Amino acid sequence: MSTPSTVSAAYPAQQGALKRFVAKPEFGPLILLLTMLVVFTSINPAFLSLNNIGNALTFTVELGLIALAMTLLMTAGEFDLSVGSVFGFSPVVMWALFNAGLMPLPAAFVVAMVLAVGIGLFSGLFVTRLGIPSFLVTLGMLLVVRGAALWLTSGFPQRTWDAGDQWIATLLVGDFYIGGLRIYMSLIWFIVLAIILHLLLTSTRFGNWIQATGGNPGAARNRGVPIHRVKVILFMLSAAMAAFAGIISSIRVSAANPNSGAGYELEVIAMVVIGGTVLTGGRGTIIGTVLGVLILRLMRNGIVLIGVPGLAYNIFIGAIILGMMALHAALERRHNAGT
Amino acid sequence: MTDQPLVEMRHIEKSYGRVHALRDVNLSIRRGEIVGLLGDNGAGKSTLIKVLSGAVPYTSGEIRIKGKPVKMTSTNDAIAAGIETIYQDSALVPQLSIARNLFLGRELTKGSLGRMDLDRMNQVAADLLKRVGISKNIPPTTPIGSLSGGERQAVAIARAMYFDSDLIVLDEPTNNLGVAETQGVLRFVREARDTGHSCIFIAHNIHHVFQVVDRMVVMRRGTVVADDLSPKTSSIQDVEDVITGDHITV
């Protein structure tokens, strides 16, 4: 009989490393990504060129930022359909305030972010206090926020070309070269935030609460986990990330279009579930989401490069989602069977 | 001082609108005793333990822990007062590991950023598993979802023992368990008592209750109708009669 205080004794041997790796939710998407890289490159070697990779990464990270936050929200058992609208709304607000001469750009940025966090807070409170499914709440929010963006601008894009000399624009989307590879600041943001949120989910107390909130809310509540607060915080994070991504995008493309981001919510959710996060909550992986983001983005890029009509893109995405879900379901069954 | 009950519930009333779920319930639990809480469906057992665990607010009455009146307004109040409730379906999170479940809500951390000390959590969990005899080479990193029903109950009870809860409330702990697993769980309950914990044991299967409790409390229609039935002096038939109300027919 050992004493609880000994920290040295190793606990029983783990199952084989390979077996554990295969059972991980990230295994499927990793294999798929590698297969895509091999197939696309063998058909068109330009796929792996620095130029192409640099371009693909740039467009990738804007949706990717939202997917990171959505991963945590979905792990907690909720999701947010309003992110595409917030993606369009926030830059519109920022540029409208700035262009009207009401405040300097950094202040307009803060106002837009605070508004977005408020939208997340509102959705979160609606879901947790009134017990309405997040599907309905955020569907309503999608319409309200998109409508607000259109109404504020009378449907016209806001000009953003004054951004060039603003330090905040450089901080968000400035670019630099590493060798021949052009790197945008947004990629750095994505990497930093992915690492932070990965650590948050896997190694912190709050991360444990997120997983417990999605896995068995009753048990989490009985253990004193503030499940409502956890969810509200994650709704706020998801809206903030959507706003951040939208603002980055508006500076990059030099236009804040009130219609931009339409349909992004579903693409983001697709990235997250392809990566191995479960729609019903309890299990989520930031690494998987990063893989899911890369899969969808490189697929879009790759099928064009190998000569498949771009309009067929959705067929591939749909097929990937279905295939991945089948794989994850099979792994889940094996997992539950204890093998 | 030693005779002071660990938990006293006095004149507890709970109504949901017009439905009187609990009427003038008085119940006290002494240190180191296992009390079986019995009653037919709808008798008020679940409501009573939810009140005791802070999950539902009571309409009126008083709860005293070690002689001191306490307000039970949330599950955190109950946990802080040393009351650990193990519900049938909502005790553990299947996706999380044994160690993460063990410390859920009370994670060991290092540093100021809320970073969990997973090494120590796993180590404590491994030692605890060994101590309560369910190790069977199960690593503490195993997800709860891959454990059997009995192993899950064992983990939940081990958790209550580890955190030195004074009172462990078990809601149908032997439900859906096989014979061997049931015996294992009953052994845990006895072990918990032997190490100074009190238990409230709720089960439909009176045979299980008889094997382990010191005293039985029977509820019917929201009130306590008997609170000192002993498995030594009453037969199962007697207790069943009290539960159904047949003993008062004249």
Segment 116-175 of chain B within 8 Å of chain A by CB: 116, 118-120, 122-128, 130-131, 135, 137-141, 143, 145-146
User: Does residue B156 belong to any structural domain of this protein?
Assistant: no
> In angstroms, how far is the first alpha carbon of chain B from the final one?
42
By three-state DSSP, how is residue A177 classified?
Answer: strand
Q: List pLDDT tens digits, range A60-100.
A: 788 999 999 999 999 999 999 999 999 999 999 999 999 88
B88 touches chain A (CB under 8 A): no
**Residues paired with residue B48 on neighbouring β-strands, in sequence order:** none
User: Does residue B218 belong to any structural domain of this protein?
Assistant: yes
Altogether, the residues listed in chain A come to a count of 339
Q: Say which CATH architecture domain A22-334 belongs to.
A: Orthogonal Bundle (1.10)
A159 touches chain B (CB under 8 A): no
Q: How far apart are CA B137 and CA B123, in angstroms?
A: 14
E strands of chain A, at which residues? 158-159, 175-178, 181-184, 255-256
The residue written with tokens 């309003």 in the block is A82
Q: Total domain count for chain B?
A: 1
Q: In this structure, what DSSP letter does residue A132 have?
A: -
By three-state DSSP, how is residue A12 classified?
Answer: coil
Q: Name the residue of chain A whose CA is nearest to B76's CA.
A: A224
* Sequence-ordered alpha helix ranges (H) in A76-204: 83-99, 105-130, 134-153, 167-173, 185-203
Q: In this structure, what DSSP letter does residue A283 have?
A: -
User: Does residue B125 belong to any structural domain of this protein?
Assistant: no
Among A120-129, A213-222, A265-274, B79-88, name the one with the lowest average pLDDT.
Answer: B79-88
**Pairing relationship of beta strands B83-86 and A255-256 according to DSSP bridges:** unpaired
Residues A102, A107, A112, A117: what is their CA dihedral angle, to the nearest 10 degrees? -140
Domain that holds residue B179: 7-91+166-248
A282 touches chain B (CB under 8 A): yes
Size of interface A-B (CB pairs under 8 A): 119
**CATH number for B45:** 3.40.50.300
pLDDT in single tens digits along all 250 residues of chain B:
457 889 999 999 998 888 888 999 999 999 889 999 998 888 888 899 999 988 888 999 999 998 889 888 888 888 888 998 888 777 899 999 999 999 998 899 998 888 999 999 999 998 888 777 665 678 889 889 888 888 888 888 888 888 888 999 998 888 878 888 888 888 888 888 888 889 999 988 888 888 889 999 999 988 998 888 888 888 888 888 888 887 654 4
User: Does residue B41 belong to any structural domain of this protein?
Assistant: yes
Residues of chain A positioned with their CB less than 8 A from the CB of B116: 203-205, 207-208
The residue written with tokens 């709808």 in the block is B42
B236 touches chain A (CB under 8 A): no
B115 touches chain A (CB under 8 A): yes
A336 touches chain B (CB under 8 A): yes
The pair of three-digit structure tokens given for residue A31, joined into one six-digit string: 């294999």
User: Does residue B50 belong to any structural domain of this protein?
Assistant: yes
User: Does residue B11 belong to any structural domain of this protein?
Assistant: yes
> What ipTM score was computed for the predicted complex, to two decimals?
0.81
Report DSSP letters for A179-202, one per residue: TTEEEEHHHHHHHHHHHHHHHHHH
Burial of B58 from C-beta contacts in 10 A (0-12 / 13-18 / 19+) = buried
Under 8 Å CB-to-CB from A265, ≥6 apart: which residues?
A80, A81, A82, A83, A84, A142
With beta carbons less than 8 A apart as the criterion, state whether B87 and B156 touch.
Answer: no
Helix axes A286-305, A264-274, angle to 10 degrees: 110
Please name the amino acid found at residue A98.
Answer: F
CA distances from B164 to A109, A171, A175, B79 (A): 50, 52, 57, 10
Looking at the partner chain, which of A2, A14, A220 has a beta carbon nearest the beta carbon of B93? Answer: A220
User: Does residue B158 belong to any structural domain of this protein?
Assistant: no
- Which residue ranges make up each domain of chain A? 22-334
